[in-house]
Chain A
Amino acid sequence: MAQVSKKEVNQHLVVDPITRIEGHLRIEVDIKNGKVSDAWSSGTLWRGIEPILQGRDIRDGGLLAQRICGVCTYSHYEGNTMATEVALGIRPPTNARLIRNLINATQFMHDHITHFYALHSLDWADVAGALKADPQKAADLAYEFSKTPYNVSVSHYKEVKEKLEKFVASGQLGPFTNAYLGNPLYKMPPEADLIMISHYLDALHTQVILAQMQAIYGAKNPHPQSLVIGGISSVMDMLDANRLAEFQFKLDSVKKFIDNAYLPDIDMLTHFYKDEFVKGWGIGNYNFLSYGGFPETNDWEAKYRYLPQGVVYEGNLNIFDPVVDEKSITETVAHSWYEGPKVGLYPGIEETIPQYTGLNADNTVKKDGKYSWIKAPRYKRKVMEVGPLARWVIGYATNHKDMRKRLDEFLKKHNANFEQMYSTVGRTAARALETAYICDGAYIFIKDLVANLKQGDESTWTRFEFPKEETNACVALVEAPRGSLGHFVTIKGKTIKHYQVVVPSTWNASPRDEIGQKGAYEASLTNLPVPNPDEPLEIIRTIHSFDPCLACAVHLINTDSGKLREFKIEV
């Protein structure tokens, strides 16, 4: 055990706001002997999107559901549209499926790259370190991790360093104000810091290109506007060869960035943080869930998706379900600010009423009571982690050829075994591997689209009729960049009767359930070191590795009556 220094006191720490995420999140931890002994995750915003959706025209649903989140801006649009299509019993034609996959591919690449560089990389790379770096050594180091490093030259690194120096000297630090500069939990040498920060600047450019790519077929980004129930509206863009050329040209430049900057940076990070690249560092439960994304067939069969479907239990690749049964999804409100029975219920049947019980007098969460606007979803009553790591664990378990090859190569390079992926570093690496995999997928979708157009098929839309009778609760299970996303809809005529969404960050950021099982964030923090409670870098690093997206996580799950009930606040 480490010596208990002055700072390593036992204390309760509140981290709010968690910055560099989407939305409003609070993390509270108990610290004992400089390590996290227990943690609570609390969503602090509730917007009530589902009751707003109910009663609206089904054709408006996608655009409204999309506003759940401006980051996974395409995912909810697609989720709503697909769920409605399931309810109507229709599927869009081949062209529409492929255009949607292309838009979704830009969404994944954009999200992963922006998340890692803009929101996560500064948890690993120290600005103070970069200021001490030797540009010549940095250039040499870059060649150790890539044969063709991105934007590498001594003069460029010098320029970046000078930029940083000027910036720090100006005193107007902006977003860097009060950053954890020089914190001992930063473990890379100064040259590696400089390389990663120079790519941070390059990534800002790459994300603009990716947003443009999304706009080519999606009208704009954020909040694309070219999906309609039954297909897509951007038929003119689809038939325009110039548009396709523009898309492909930009895709080439993105691929260069992924291969020569992102992947080498992850290798570098894994190399220097190898002490943390161990099983269990930043992982609390070992169950992983993926619904599968990017349908490869027009009937959206779960077996044929570019990202695979499945469930892995207890970190054991042999305890594996190849198919997700949506009826096994339950949600519990035992520790969430809603009224309801103690046991978890299927989202389709539960009725949920807000019940805000407030905080303790010192503004900390009520540990044993209700403490979050986020509910606790469970699969077969078990806590699940969703997201890139989950998808790659499942890809590995299903012996997915391409995914397994990429992951094995990565492990071999670092002389690591598969179990080490169960860590904060592993989660971060899985995201990078996935970005490269999706990028290659985009080329496949383009090839398929061109082949289909060449056959003379120009259709982009499937006609449908509004159902006279009320439908059952229909569900679309898809993958958003941060994990598994389920939209549940019931419709009658032109109207949405019931609406529910169970989103990735609800899975990961969930509070405890009725039997006290901690959510993925909560469990992942246990035993992480916090030498200085003022700078909880290790906590932030692990929470960020999940890519939290709180606007998505927090909303009311179901209102059967279509009206929100008045409720009392018990503060």
Chain B
Amino acid sequence: MNDKIDYESLLEEVDKRLEEGCSKEQEQLFYSKLKDAGFSRRDFLKWTSMITAALTLPPIFEPRVAKAVAAIAQRPTVIWLHFAECTGCTESFLRTINPSIEQVIFDTINLAFHDTLMMASGKRAEEALESAIEKYNGKYILVVEGGIPTKDDGIYLRIGANAETGLHRLKRISKGAKYILNFGTCSSFGGVQAAYPNPTGAKGVHDILGCEVVNVSGCPPNAVNMIGTVVHILLFDRVPPLDLSYRPIWAYGGRIHDNCERRAHFDAGEFVQEWGDEGAKKGWCLYKMGCKGPLTYNNCPRYRFNQGTNWPVGAGHGCIGCSEPDFWDTMAPFEEPNDKAGIRIPAFGGVEATSDAIGELVTGITIGAVGVHAAGAIIRSKAEKKKKEEEENNKNDQNKSDSEQK
């Protein structure tokens, strides 16, 4: 989607980094931990090819990813902060790392502070945080979970014995961070508490700090996207290429609709018409049930959730666009088709029926796809306007509801 990627210079860059940054000791430690955790090198190499593919790097990078993960001597310290959130992202993360190769990686990274996992409480926990900030100043990865209330100087969230506001805490602790990774839609874009009417003035990290961040959005994000981002930093020591919403392109570059296992049914004009109908039993397309796959950029169809067990479309529910900015407002109502993408539904037996219609149809879809991606960034600035419109729509909705029912 971008200009052609120059893999040769990427290779050069990585090789240089590996040559300078690896240590035998670290590598031995990693492999011994891997063995302790019950994994063979072969398991690790399999995992490496998965994550290399996820990062959309060619296979030639596989041994280099393995080397970086195992042997880079300067392991980043992670400080993980919670703001206005539901802990779902941490929960999602915990479902991945235990017990697995990801666990081993995190064993060899220093997770210096994490409220949900810390043993110490109160004063002792605060001391651990403060000493980590000082000791790793300028070097740590700051992982942020949750939106940040900003209204009334942020009084809606106060943490610690000094009752520091979340807003102050973010500004203070982000100063010494080398990278800021926003795990989840809340820290990326404000999330659920920022949905209209946003009573606490909650915002995403970038909207407050204005600096470079990596938004690993999703409510919650899938595990591959969180781990992949960390691996990318180990490999290149810089943030991955980002889209207009600061999301890694390797994870959020593809549209759900285009990679969906039910796409063939869309093309064939086979739709679920109501919950539990024959189409639902056969796994037909959920577009008419409001699926926001055509508007959403993420890799869920490929990696699914919970070690590939399932994902919303797999469970017969439309996508709600949870990794897009302001999705609570721009994608609602979730159970009604949203034609902002300019999607045309293949009618009368779908694309297979008449070849004449195909040309027109395909053009329609392609324009839709390109249009939407560009629109991603614009949607945010429009959100304010939309919120105002929404109030009016709510009034109209009641009138509409009568006519729309079948």
Residues in chain A within 8 A of chain B (CB atoms) = 14-24, 44-49, 51-52, 55-57, 59-60, 63-64, 67-71, 73, 114, 118-119, 122, 159, 163, 172, 174-180, 201, 204-205, 207-208, 211-212, 214-223, 225-226, 228, 230-237, 239, 356, 358-359, 363, 373, 458-461, 463, 465-466, 468, 492-495, 534-536, 540, 551, 556, 563-564, 569, 571
Contacts and interface: CB of A to CB of B under 8 A. Distances in A.
Given A159-B36, A212-B307, A222-B220, A55 B122 contact: no
B124 interface: yes
B332 A24 contact: no
B99 interface: yes
Contacts of A70: 85-92, 220
A179 B282 CA distance: 53
Contacts of A159: 36
Contacts of A231: 275-276
B117 A208 contact: no
B307 A226 contact: no
Nearest to B317: A233
A211 B88 contact: no
Contacts of B332: 56-57, 60
B119 interface: yes
Contact of A535 (B124, B126, B192, B398): B124
Interface of B: 36, 82, 84-92, 94-95, 98-99, 110-128, 132, 149, 152, 155-163, 166, 191-193, 195-200, 202, 219-220, 274-276, 280-283, 304-307, 309-312, 314-317, 320, 328, 332-336, 390-391, 394, 397-398, 401-402, 405
23 contacts: A19-B115, A20-B121, A47-B156, A47-B202, A48-B193, A52-B199, A57-B335, A57-B336, A70-B91, A70-B92, A178-B128, A205-B99, A207-B94, A208-B306, A212-B307, A215-B315, A219-B314, A220-B304, A220-B312, A221-B305, A226-B315, A237-B315, A495-B398
A466 B405 contact: yes
Query: Which of B113, B120, B314: most chain A CB closer than 10 A?
Result: B120
A362 B159 CA distance: 14
Nearest to B117: A175
Given A22-B87, A212-B306, A356-B152, A59 B197 contact: no
B310 A216 contact: yes
B159 A16 contact: yes
A150 to B, nearest CB: 15
Given A24-B82, A211-B306, A212-B306, A59 B334 contact: yes
A219 B312 contact: yes
A46 B159 contact: no
Nearest to B335: A59
B197 A52 contact: yes
B98 A228 contact: no
Contacts of B320: 63, 225
Contacts of B156: 45-48, 373
Given A220-B305, A220-B310, A46 B120 contact: no
A354 B76 CA distance: 41
Contact of B315 (A21, A57, A180, A233): A233
